[in-house]
Amino acid sequence: KQEVTQIPAALSVPEGENLVLNCSFTDSAIYNLQWFRQDPGKGLTSLLLIQSSQREQTSGRLNASLDKSSGRSTLYIAASQPGDSATYLCAVSNYQLIWGAGTKLIIKP
Amino acid sequence: DGGITQSPKYLFRKEGQNVTLSCEQNLNHDAMYWYRQDPGQGLRLIYYSQIVNDFQKGDIAEGYSVSREKKESFPLTVTSAQKNPTAFYLCASSTNHQGGRNEQFFGPGTRLTVL
């Protein structure tokens, strides 16, 4: 059974720092991996989708990597800003999406 | 603008009542999904529909029911059989199910509280 883990559950860093969020999964037989952002009390916004054949995807200050063999993905956020404060969720696709519990990120001004 | 709408934003239910959460999309997507989100847990799939008049149970379907009479609409009913319904409910859609491979787009959610 696929399990997805995100560590840490919460992270607080000063504005301007580069940071990495982690996502690990137990079954490497995935179609893709997706990263989402969720603001408090709101729905989810898709950030990046990495196909199983890809190693990374970039969008602006965000870069997501995928290492299927080790069951790991990272989301790199460059030059963090207070507006980046949110919960970041990853999900792996294997017939259906299996979700991590998220990392709550706080960027301190 | 294309997107997914959910209503109401907040919903309060008394013990023993059935309530229905609305989800509408104008993205012309075939597949639609209902998830439940609880604090400290990942999203869990309740039901999904790949096409009109068809739907399948997800991991936690007990106490819930759905219908898919129109492509644009996928309402979720939380029945009195659902013992712990207080949660945040999210609706999503994708171009088609394709084994969950396609990018899913989410609505703003409905927070349901049992009084």
Q: Supply B9's token pair.
A: 């934003």
Please compute the mean of the pLDDT values over residues B28-40 and round it to a whole number.
94
Q: Which of A36-40, A75-79, B50-54, B99-103 has the lowest mean pLDDT?
A: B99-103
Q: Supply A20's token pair.
A: 């990495």
- pLDDT tens digits, residue range B42-77? 899 999 999 999 999 999 999 999 999 999 999 999
The answer to whether A16 and A79 have CB atoms below 8 angstroms apart is yes
Of residues B111 and B98, the one with the higher pLDDT is: B111
- Could you tell me if B39 lies within 8 Å of chain A, comparing CB atoms? no
CA distance A16 to A67: 27
Residue B99 dihedral angles phi and psi, to the nearest 5°: 65, 30
Average model confidence (pLDDT) for chain A?
A: 95
CA distance B57 to B76: 12
Model confidence at B36, in pLDDT bands (50, 70, 90)? very high
CA distance B101 to A92: 9
CA distance A97 to A34: 9
| Neighbouring residues of A8: CB distance < 8 A, sequence distance ≥ 6 | A103
Residue B92 dihedral angles phi and psi, to the nearest 5°: -140, 165
Q: Beta partners for B4?
A: B25
Which of B59, B101, B102 should be substituted to probe chain A, the one whose Cβ sees the most A Cβ atoms within 10 Å? B101
Residues 34-93 of A with CB under 8 A from B: 34, 36, 41-46, 49, 89, 91, 93
| Neighbouring residues of A7: CB distance < 8 A, sequence distance ≥ 6 | A22, A24, A103
pLDDT at B1 over 70: no
| Neighbouring residues of A53: CB distance < 8 A, sequence distance ≥ 6 | none
